[in-house]
Amino acid sequence: MWQLLKIPAEQATADRLSDALMELGALSVSIEDAHAGTTAEQPIFGEPGMMQETWHDSLVSALFDPHADIGDILRLASQAADLLAVPPHSIEALAEQDWVRLTQSQFDPIQISKRLWIVPSWHAAPDPSAIVLVLDPGLAFGTGSHPTTRLCLQWLDSSLSANASVLDYGCGSGILAIAAKRLGAGAVIGVDIDPQAVQAARDNAERNAVTVDFYLPDAIPEAQYAVVIANILSNPLKVLAPLLAARVQPHGQIVLSGILAEQAEEMRALYGEWFDMRPAIIDEGWVCLTGEKR
């Protein structure tokens, strides 16, 4: 039987407690809304348009092996978090099968748009008529909960032309490439420098019953695409600008994210060498930039 420690915490101390518990040997730590499941629940993660970064009243849950000295761990964690005393807490015995259930419960379906959802494989689709992307959290970046991924998915949902060819550069989990295919794209490929990401993306494409080819950069076919989408970070986007621009067909679309709001104008100016750039779309301090190739 595993030991599950639960500590109610204020916003200011939840992160410090979480870090301290991990340092002290917790097998996993999560921070949840203390009011989850009630009318006072506060949505933040995975819900577009929500600007709040954390809950006012949190619940820190930490999993320990059966032999861990929870009393000693609590005392040390409290000191590390600058608390004056050991906080109120509870300890539950947790069977191994419940541990799996607990981990899965942290990942709920995410609604991206009116018709597009991301759903972990252990959940039923909330809307049977929706376009559902089945995606489990894994080693590769991209589960839909981050604003940059949501922004790119929303652009694909609203702006992708039927049968358009798509290149997802820095594909991570493959979520954008898979979404493009599910939304009616033609030929779609994804590229990532991480072999684990490429394998994860291939597995996710198979799980979603779509045909998408994923490559390491050296193996990418020589071609141009109607849409090139790159959700990475600003520095790689700067270095890759000529390469990405060269991959876009004349009058094709560039879609860029992983960019902070304060970096948007610099990036617009850089890519403006090749594209007619549109105003930035902002979500929680991150932006998506799009443009049409001249």
**Assigned token pair, 94:** 């947790």
Q: 119: pLDDT confidence band, cut at 50, 70 and 90?
A: confident
The closest of 211, 222, 169 to 192, measured between CA atoms, is 169
Q: How far apart are CA 290 and CA 116, in angstroms?
A: 20
User: What pLDDT score does 263 carry?
Assistant: 94
User: What pLDDT score does 51 carry?
Assistant: 38
User: What pLDDT score does 102 carry?
Assistant: 60
pLDDT over 90 (residue 74): yes
Of 22-31, 149-158, 186-195, 248-257, the one with minimum mean pLDDT is 22-31
Of 124-133, 198-207, 267-276, the one with minimum mean pLDDT is 124-133
pLDDT over 60 (residue 20): yes
Q: 127: pLDDT confidence band, cut at 50, 70 and 90?
A: confident
The identity of residue 175, as a single letter, is I
Q: List, in order of start, the domains of the chain with CATH numbers.
A: 2-105 (3.30.70.120), 143-293 (3.40.50.150)
pLDDT over 90 (residue 103): no
Convert the pLDDT of each residue in 241-277 to its tens digit: 999 999 999 999 999 999 999 999 999 999 999 999 9
Please tell me the pTM assigned to this model.
Answer: 0.66
3-state SS, the chain, equals CEEEEEEEEEHHHHHHHHHHHHHCCCCEEEEEECCCCCCCCCCCCCCCCCCCCCCCEEEEEEEECCCCCHHHHHHHHHHHCCCCCCCCCEEEEECHHHHHHHHHHCCCCEECCCCEEEECCCCCCCCCCCEEEECCCCCCCCCCCCHHHHHHHHHHHHHCCCCCCEEEECCCCCHHHHHHHHCCCCCEEEECCCHHHHHHHHHHHHHCCCCCEEECHHHCCCCCEEEEEEECCHHHHHHHHHHHHHCEEEEEEEEEEEEEHHHHHHHHHHHCCCEEECCCEEECCEEEEEEEEC
Q: What integer is the mean pLDDT of 85-114?
A: 77
Select, from the ranges 39-53, 115-129, 186-200, the one with the highest average predicted confidence (pLDDT).
186-200
**Which comes out higher in pLDDT, residue 10 or 166?**
166
Dihedral sign for Cα 137, 141, 147, 149, please: negative
**Assigned token pair, 147:** 């604003």
**Assigned token pair, 274:** 């090749």
pLDDT over 90 (residue 47): no
pLDDT over 90 (residue 89): yes
